[in-house]
Homo-oligomer: A and B are copies of this chain.
Amino acid sequence: MSNRPSKRANDETRKIELIPNFSPYAEGSCLAKFGNTHVLVTASVEEKVPGWMKGTKKGWVTAEYGMLPRATHTRGKREAASGKQSGRTQEIQRLIGRGLRSVVDLVALGERQILIDCDVLQADGGTRTASLTGAYVALSLACKYLREEGLIIENPIRAQVAAISCGIYKGEPVLDLDYDEDSSAEADANFIIAQNLGLVEVQATGEERPFTEVEFNELLSLAKKGCDELFALQAKAIG
């Protein structure tokens, strides 16, 4: 019997949908739904790179992240109005960019940039992992577009990459935390995993108390199971 507010089994994800080509304009896009967490991800191709990369014959992949003010239970401040992005926002968008670049061959991409925008329409926990998982789909579709347009020959993506959160909730390791769980978890962790290659990024935090190595390894096992599901959904979305 489940202790989780949602009655899910400890190793059960929420209902996840990755809807490709959601945007009519972007070169690649995906609406990633993890239960009530909905993130609209677009991938925009720009035929130039940041100044410090000019002439390197390498491309770049970077990400920006935002949350609609009323994506959450209580309204947050609009970052554009307050004049700056929060530390949390910057931390998340740096994480997404780094995670994606870990599976992209920047030389094969050529001297161009793919800009990923992750905008959270609704937030119920796990927005950064939903963002990265959907971003992989949007990025893949943008690369497909580049090949179809004849702008690149080879697919610059070397492996699938996905992310999922886990945590220790009421003493038990659980997969894919929703907001209720996240806000009272004893520890939580985000894992980015590259299919068949291993770990790309691990971020684990003892929120209420330090956690043990044993607990950490249980979280990692859950994450591997979860990412396997995500890899299948991504493959299906890209077609």
Contact = CB atoms under 8 A, between A and B. Distances in A.
A110 interface: no
The contact size tier of chain A is: 35 or more
- Between A42, A91, A206, the greatest number of chain B beta carbons within 10 A of the residue's beta carbon is seen for A206
A40 B25 contact: no
A235 B102 CA distance: 40
B81 A83 contact: no
Contact of A211 (B40, B199, B206): B199
10 contacts: A69-B117, A80-B80, A81-B85, A83-B83, A87-B93, A193-B210, A194-B206, A199-B216, A202-B202, A202-B204
Interface string A73-106: 1110011110111111111011000100010000
A98 to B, nearest CB: 7
Contacts of A202: 189, 202-205, 216
Given A198-B213, A201-B206, A26 B70 contact: yes
A146 interface: no
Nearest to A43: B70
Contacts of A26: 70, 75
Interface string A171-182: 000000000000
Interface in A23-73: 23-26, 29, 36, 40, 42, 44, 46, 64, 66, 68-73
A70 B116 CA distance: 9
A98 B36 contact: no
A234 interface: no
